[in-house]
Amino acid sequence: MWYFQNIVFNIYNKKVLNLFPFPWLLASFQLFVGSVWMLILWSFKLQPCPKISKPFIVALLGPALFHTIGHISACVSFSKVAVSFTHVIKSSEPVFSVIFSTILGDNTYPLRVWLSILPIVLGCSLAAVTEVSFNLQGLWGALISNVGFVLRNIYSKRSLESFKEVNGLNLYGWISIISLLYLFPVAIFVEGAQWVEGYHRAIQAVGKPTTFYIWVMLSGVFYHLYNQSSYQALDDISPLTFSVGNTMKRVVVIVATVLVFRNPVKPLNALGSAIAIFGTFLYSQATSKKSPKKIEGSFKQGGNGC
């Protein structure tokens, strides 16, 4: 379900952005759908509602800010380049994780871990150089997204150490709500003046307003669903299993979106993508001895999001 929902999200997210190239509004809507979804689950007691306190909200402010940066940057990247290219660049997240964790003093890594990130850098570089749809904004968006999600993981572990009783799904729900409050006012400032004109162009291009509405709704619903599925899975699997699963997920998403959107892929581009993803797999293996069996109340190794 995690893979299937992620594929559906990526397809309809890109379909909407092709017609309505306003990632700030779309990213805000996706957070809004997730926020409403969680409020419904809590209201009908389908999901246990965590106890809310001022210290808990304060502890979430930092991780939510970095989550917002990661989410909007990924959406900007999706709007500028092929979905497959964004996912290849986002597979380099372990590189940023190792670097920032070392700089901030959160962790130290053995030589095998540093060696495992070399093929990730090589593969992403090769894929970027040979990418047909290359766009500098798309590249920077994916890279900044990696930084955002890595810092979210680091600071959530730091600030949420006292709230380990909060499970992953509830934590993600509150992160979504606070992120929406961060993002939407900025979205209005950045692109709000263009929304009405862009909406009319999108409706004219698609022909049927209902089709456009369905695509937007699917992008929002499946953005939350695939995140929910991943956190439910994390309740029963180790961070290492999740990290390997996340690597394979990118392979599935890349192949699916290439087939759906018929993006041209050069042989060297495919080779670079394969090397980068294989490097991510090596990283997960190299860090396996450092991974605890279970980490409650924080974002697990490998991150999540777009």
Walk along the chain (306 residues) and give the pLDDT tens digit of each residue.
Answer: 989 999 999 999 999 999 999 999 999 999 999 999 999 999 999 888 888 889 999 999 999 999 999 999 999 999 999 999 999 999 898 899 889 988 887 778 899 989 989 999 999 998 888 888 889 999 999 999 999 999 988 888 888 888 877 888 888 999 999 999 999 999 999 999 999 999 999 999 998 899 999 999 999 999 999 988 887 777 677 666 777 777 788 888 998 988 898 888 888 888 998 999 898 888 888 887 654 444 344 455 444 555
Tokens 């092929």 belong to which residue? 82
Q: Is residue 187 part of a domain?
A: yes
The domain containing residue 141 runs over which residues? 2-290
pLDDT at 301: 43
Please give the full DSSP string across 71-109, using - where no structure is assigned: HHHHHHHHHHS-HHHHHHHHTTHHHHHHHHHHHTTS---
pLDDT at 229: 87
Residue type, position 115, single letter: L
pLDDT at 304: 54
| DSSP code of residue 294 | -
Tokens of 48: 């246990």
| DSSP code of residue 51 | P
How buried is 108 (Cβ within 10 angstroms: 0-12 exposed, 13-18 middle, 19+ buried)?
A: exposed
How buried is 217 (Cβ within 10 angstroms: 0-12 exposed, 13-18 middle, 19+ buried)?
A: middle
Q: Is residue 244 part of a domain?
A: yes
Report the alpha-carbon distance of residue 118 to residue 127 in Å, rounded: 14
Report the alpha-carbon distance of residue 32 to residue 234 in Å, rounded: 23
Report the alpha-carbon distance of residue 7 to residue 177 in Å, rounded: 24
Q: Is residue 223 part of a domain?
A: yes
Q: Is residue 295 part of a domain?
A: no
Residue type, position 150, single letter: V
- Among 213, 223, 193, 161, which Cα is nearest to 37's? 223
Q: Is residue 300 part of a domain?
A: no
pLDDT at 237: 72
Q: Is residue 302 part of a domain?
A: no
- Tell me how many domains the chain contains: 1
Report the alpha-carbon distance of residue 79 to residue 198 in Å, rounded: 14
- Among 282, 279, 258, 287, which Cα is nearest to 89's? 279
* 3-state helix, strand and coil shares in percent for the chain, rounded to the nearest 5: 80, 0, 20
Question: Is residue 206 a contact partner of residue 19, using CB atoms and an 8 Å limit?
Answer: yes
Tokens 């394969």 belong to which residue? 274
Report the alpha-carbon distance of residue 159 to residue 76 in Å, rounded: 28
Q: Is residue 304 part of a domain?
A: no
pLDDT at 305: 59
Q: Is residue 296 part of a domain?
A: no
